Structure 1
Amino acid sequence: MATRVLHRVVGAGLKQTRTGRFTAVVRSLSAYQEDSWFKSLFVRKVDPRKDAHSHLLAKKEDNNLYKIQFHNVKPECLDAYNELCADVLPSIHADPEFPCELVGTWNTWYGEQDQAVHLWRYRGGYPALTEVMNKLKQNEKFTEYRKERGKMLLSRRNQLLLEFSFWNEPVPRPGPNIYELRSYQLRLTKTFSPEKTQEIPPGSMTAGMRWFITQSLSFRTWNLE
């Protein structure tokens, strides 16, 4: 583009003489105009970002840390698994010795069948998570719960999540309710606008879980690329 512009400008100042030679007609420009015109041919230099997108979008790690658990249950054990979780998990949630909260627990209807999903919130970030893990290792009831749970599961996985800085905490409402899990793929630019992220169409779940819970919770967690 810059080359074509230069050719066009110089060509306008050429005149052909009788001998067939070309002479250049030079126009005098002010120093300001010449400097502005020359600079317009090149892309402006943009200062590099000093912070990663994850630091700009997420709240501080010492605020709230979330853990999402996915348990694939044996079909014949799903009812017993739900009863076991209902007996143990609320007691951990209600115990003030554990700086964690059970935000929600669900069974899936579509997608992965016979799957249970649990969402935990740790007040205080990673130190709170470490404290809870150490205390649960010494909790006899939880140890027995894990043994019984292991007999009912086919597989399990979990993931640690941080809140976006521009959304509020997830607040459950009286249920039972039906929730929808969606995946989104974000393409961040230097002028990232949180409001426009809701307009991005769903993408595939290829690089981890990019999802949020709708209808009752305003909590959204995305794996940013």
Structure 2
Amino acid sequence: MAPSWSLSALKNQRQLCKNVCSPLFLRSLTEGSDAGWFRSMFPHKVEARKDAHSNLLSKKETSNLYKIQFHNVKPECLEAYNSLSVEVQTKLHCDKDYPCEVVGSWNTWYGEQDQAVHLWRYSGGYPALTECLNKLKLNKEYLEFRKERSKMLLSRRNQLLLEFSFWNEPTPRPGPNIYELRTYRLQPGTMIEWGNHWARAIKYRQENNEAVGGFFTQIGELYVVHHLWAYTDLQSRQETRNAAWLKEGWDASVHYTVPLIQSMESRIMYPMKNSPLQ
């Protein structure tokens, strides 16, 4: 049998619906202390921009361009590859005729095995990169190095990066340290939102000097973010990361950035002996 409704009950139901759907009620949910759970049910609106996100998020006081290289090395050649790379990189790093410098060089410990990761800085942006490439084409020693190196590699790829304005400038540091490279592949169109959240979130991760650098891609695979962290060892990494969750605000930062991510990857790396980041 269908339930019977009194006239007064129907009126009460109708009034409740009006109250729940009213602008005042919705505003109280999105602005109150319990707003987080309600806002998370809806897509975040990002205001239309009239400038490239690279101009809005990157450092204005520098014109640095970064290149990150991933070299997958034949397992039997890793030691020879490291020795050869150290020799040639050190010469380029110290040669003032080349407007580039090695920020850090590592071998992957946990993650893709038999892999080398190199981070370069070009002081002067794209013109500096072009100048280096043109000079290296005429550098016979470097061309021989590339020829010899090619025999040791299974694959290689690179990306050109800019650094986030709110992250530390990567500077040399003594060791021993291990490094974590966390790579996030974002949903296209969400870089500004990511930057807005991390501009606040980074303050929760700087007390122990673990934040090394934060970058986003300009050329190569796009909408990719790299965060570089330094720790004394894996135990200190665990303790540092756990401590972040005890700080009010870190959980909200994670909550709002996770939906922006398509995939993520973590590499634990140890520095090669020529790396300024030890």
TM-score tier, shorter chain, comes to 0.5 to 0.7
1:92 counterpart residue number: 92
How far is the alpha carbon of 1:184 from its aligned partner? Answer: 3.6
Counterpart contact for 2:63–2:123, Cα < 8 Å: yes
Structure 1 runs (4+) deviating above 3 angstroms are 184-191, 196-199, 206-209
The one-letter code matched in structure 1 to 2:196 is F
Q: Which runs of 5+ in 1 are unaligned?
A: 9-39, 41-45, 200-205, 217-223
The change in CA–CA distance for 1:185 and 1:196 in structure 2 (over 3 A counts) is farther
The change in CA–CA distance for 1:176 and 1:86 in structure 2 (over 3 A counts) is farther
RMSD over aligned Cα atoms: 3.3
TM-score, normalisation: structure 2: 0.55
Residue 171, structure 1, aligned to residue 147, structure 2: no
Equivalent residue pairs, number: 174
| Mapped partners of 2:195, 2:109: distance in 1 | 38
Counterpart contact for 1:58–1:163, Cα < 8 Å: yes
1:141 counterpart residue number: 141
Alignment of 1:7-18 (within 5 A): none
The change in CA–CA distance for 1:107 and 1:81 in structure 2 (over 3 A counts) is same
| Mapped partners of 2:75, 2:47: distance in 1 | 56
Counterpart contact for 2:185–2:224, Cα < 8 Å: no
1:192 corresponds, among 190, 196, 208, to: 196
1:104 counterpart residue number: 104
2:51 counterpart residue number: 51
Residue 211, structure 1, aligned to residue 216, structure 2: no
How far is the alpha carbon of 1:111 from its aligned partner? Answer: 1.2
Provide the secondary structure at the position in 2 that maps to 1:97. coil
Counterpart contact for 1:101–1:120, Cα < 8 Å: yes
| Highest RCO, 1 vs 2 (Cα 8 Å, sep ≥ 6) | 2
Deviations 1:161-193 (A, max 9, x none): 001112231012123421011134664449934
The change in CA–CA distance for 1:61 and 1:130 in structure 2 (over 3 A counts) is farther
The change in CA–CA distance for 1:48 and 1:71 in structure 2 (over 3 A counts) is closer
2:83 counterpart residue number: 83
Percent same amino acid at aligned positions?
63
How far is the alpha carbon of 1:215 from its aligned partner? Answer: 1.4
Structure in which a larger fraction of residues adopt helix:
2
Indicate the structure (1 or 2) with the bigger Cα radius of gyration: 1
The change in CA–CA distance for 1:191 and 1:115 in structure 2 (over 3 A counts) is closer
| Mapped partners of 1:214, 1:137: distance in 2 | 34
The change in CA–CA distance for 1:139 and 1:191 in structure 2 (over 3 A counts) is closer
